[in-house]
Structure 1
Amino acid sequence: MQSDLSTSQFNLADLRQWLDEQSKQLGFDSLRVTDTELGEATEHLKEWLAQGRHGQMEYMERHAQLRSDPNLLVPGTVRVICVTMNYLSPQINFDTEWERLGQVTEAVVSIYARGRDYHKVMRNRLQDLAKCIENKIGKFGYRVFTDSAPLMEVELAKKAGLGWRGKHTLLLNRESGSTFFLGEILVDIPLPIDGEQESHCGTCQACIEVCPTQAITAPYQLDARRCISYLTIENPGAIPVEFRSAMGNRIYGCDDCQLICPWNKFAQRSELPDFAQRHGLGNAGLLELWSWTETDFEKRHEGSAIRRIGYSRWRRNLAVALGNALASGVEQDAIRSALSAALDNADPLVEEHIQWALGQH
């Protein structure tokens, strides 16, 4: 990656200011710039991996060295342009989200996943931003990323001043809480660097206390193996029995640590139609989703981040939630009938979770 330009051909400070304007026009909510030095974060990553807290996310360990230095990922990188994009659609109400967690026959899908796949939305707009830069200054070296490469996105965003790392390990800022996506452009242009923000979590422990599986083992320490988001999305195998009851009716991800966070009182709404809820995922029932065939799953999740977990994991998650509904004593006959009817055609992973679910009454 190498620019055809010398820095004398344009004013870097003016270019930096222009980037703010262009990013807003493309739908990004904030933009900051940092260098590639990650300091202590690389040691923290090594310790986290050594403790096995990444679970079966083998790619985390496989690409650990690349994560430690963006210049190894894209040679020639000297700066990282970091952006945020809010995803909270106007229909979302946090009080309603809490209420649905108590409605055991309702299916709860993490808010960020109810619209279009953010990878595609962010990547396309980052590519547009890079092309705008190219049109302004000529050819330069760059690559765009959004949760799609061995890159320590949260650490880079924190270093760039987009926010501070909350005790749940997510990025927080005072303007929009934590309900935003992150994206990056690695560039070979020596842009001015922005400063970091101070942390504003203080003595608050709400995210730690609310976690259903105690996955936040201490402030700023997350054990992915216990996290419902990991268990329902990244985990390819059986969900450990000790965490199934705590999952409740969460079938894809978990938002509890964000819902409880006081800073999300300031969460900003997104008017982008891409992030609007699709296919009734904000108010679907467990039995309704259980009735979907694999064709239904593929069709209705087309263009969605959910599709990548596949039909089997989707059914696995639903089976656990249906078992938890059985344990509460509601709709016993309908749920038992639906689960039993699915046994003959279930693959071994789903069958094991159905059998567990049928034992919950």
Structure 2
Amino acid sequence: MIDTKSKYTQFIKSEAKRLGFLSCGISKAAFLEQEAPRLENWLNNQRNGQMSYMENNFDKRLNPTLLVDDAKSVISLLLNYYPSEFQNPDSFKISKYAYGEDYHSVIKEKLKELLFSIQENIGEVSGRAFVDSAPVLDKAWAAKSGLGWIGKNSNLLTRKVGSFYFIAELIIDLDLEYDFATTDHCGTCTACIDACPTEAIIAPYQVDGSKCISYFTIELKENIPDEMQGKFDDWAFGCDICQDVCPWNKFSKPHNEPLFNPKPELLSMSKKDWEEITEETFKVIAKNSPLKRTKFSGIKRNIDFLR
């Protein structure tokens, strides 16, 4: 006979699959002991650059019970975003995660539905959904839940589909069966370290966020430092280099989420189109997209820097 905890766990995992999530892993909601010194060290060395929000809510980042009263379980979920179509090769590059609609809203809807389904089928369960915008160490929880391992480029990697997916969490006050962490399969490979043009991967498993092309093109609000000239390899929004060269991403499969399908205009744009882009055109392309993050002025700055 299946016990209640096991039955609930199986139900949640099957619902996650029904909602289109790639995989679902569950961990006990408790203080992240191993991550605490790593995060402290990373912040002390100012690896976050101008991302000052990373310094806020230090305790909450490490302890889910401070985010959800009486939290018992952290449900980690992966949602694939690997595209089936790519940009015009003669274009400034946009990170693949920004091809479609803003993932925050797409995933939040799925998480709301998952929580509703849990409450409807299991009973009174309280919880909160988290998608990349709250103080939750999503990669750490996903690794703890056995969904992959954190690679040398500090991304979560899986042997089945590589790393082109979003990570989200549902933290709830229900005891469930917990998964085990998987093993590291980076081996002696240093492809990501060797390929990073700004040397942001300062050592295996250590990324200096303030040197990353994604940081310069999205997070940095002022001018990009002159010493970075010629190092961006035409990336105008984000950067996928360390993922593109990762051998495990040979196994990436196209997603089946219609909302992540790219706008045809985005795929067809050439460098010339980007250089001559007007605010009106940008608004059309960036509507409901992660591209809105930089605003028109930011994308213009990035393109001017690449010219």
Superposition TM-score, scaled by structure 1 size: 0.81
Alpha-carbon distance between aligned partners in 2 of 1:180 and 1:80, rounded to the nearest angstrom: 18
Q: Tell me the SS of whatever aligns to 2:25.
A: strand
Alpha-carbon distance between aligned partners in 1 of 2:290 and 2:84, rounded to the nearest angstrom: 20
State the shift of 1:298 in Å: 2.2
Alpha-carbon distance between aligned partners in 2 of 1:240 and 1:71, rounded to the nearest angstrom: 40
Conserved? CA contact 2:32–2:63, under 8 Å: yes
Write the deviation string for residues 150-183 of structure 1: whole angstroms up to 9, x where unpaired: 1100001000110000000000011110011111
State the shift of 1:20 in Å: 1.7
State the shift of 1:66 in Å: 1.5
Write the deviation string for residues 241-277 of structure 1: whole angstroms up to 9, x where unpaired: 1112101311001111111000001112212111112
State the shift of 1:114 in Å: 0.9
Q: Tell me the SS of whatever aligns to 2:175.
A: coil
Q: What percentage of aligned pairs have identical amino acids?
A: 37
Match of 1:42 in 2: 36
* Greater length-normalized contact order (CA 8 Å, ≥ 6 residues apart): 2
Amino acid at match of 1:189: L
State the shift of 1:279 in Å: 4.1
Superposition TM-score, scaled by structure 2 size: 0.95
Alpha-carbon distance between aligned partners in 1 of 2:276 and 2:259, rounded to the nearest angstrom: 26
Q: Tell me the SS of whatever aligns to 1:13.
A: helix
Alpha-carbon distance between aligned partners in 2 of 1:74 and 1:244, rounded to the nearest angstrom: 45
Does residue 64 of structure 1 match 2:49? no
- The unaligned stretches of length 5 or more in structure 2 are none
Match of 1:295 in 2: 280
Conserved? CA contact 2:26–2:75, under 8 Å: yes
Runs (4+) off by over 4 Å: none
Alpha-carbon distance between aligned partners in 1 of 2:265 and 2:28, rounded to the nearest angstrom: 42
Q: Which residues of 2 match residues 144-159 of structure 1 at below 5 A?
A: 144-159=129-144
Greater helix proportion: 1
Match of 2:250 in 1: 265
Amino acid at match of 1:240: P
Which of 172, 177, 180 lines up with 1:187 in the alignment?
172
Does residue 245 of structure 1 match 2:262? no
Write the deviation string for residues 310-345 of structure 1: whole angstroms up to 9, x where unpaired: 1111110011122xxxxxxxxxxxxxxxxxxxxxxx
Does residue 88 of structure 1 match 2:73? no
Q: Tell me the SS of whatever aligns to 2:105.
A: helix
State the shift of 1:283 in Å: 4.1
Q: Tell me the SS of whatever aligns to 2:303.
A: helix
Conserved? CA contact 2:265–2:285, under 8 Å: no
Match of 1:133 in 2: 118
Write the deviation string for residues 214-266 of structure 1: whole angstroms up to 9, x where unpaired: 00000000011110011101111111111121013110011111110000011
- The unaligned stretches of length 5 or more in structure 1 are 1-9, 323-361
Which of 268, 271, 276 lines up with 1:286 in the alignment?
271
Amino acid at match of 1:24: K
Conserved? CA contact 1:175–1:268, under 8 Å: no
Alpha-carbon distance between aligned partners in 2 of 1:291 and 1:71, rounded to the nearest angstrom: 50
Conserved? CA contact 2:193–2:199, under 8 Å: yes
| Count of aligned residue pairs for this structure pair | 304
Larger radius of gyration: 1
Match of 1:333 in 2: none
Q: Tell me the SS of whatever aligns to 2:265.
A: coil
Match of 1:22 in 2: 15
Does residue 315 of structure 1 match 2:295? no
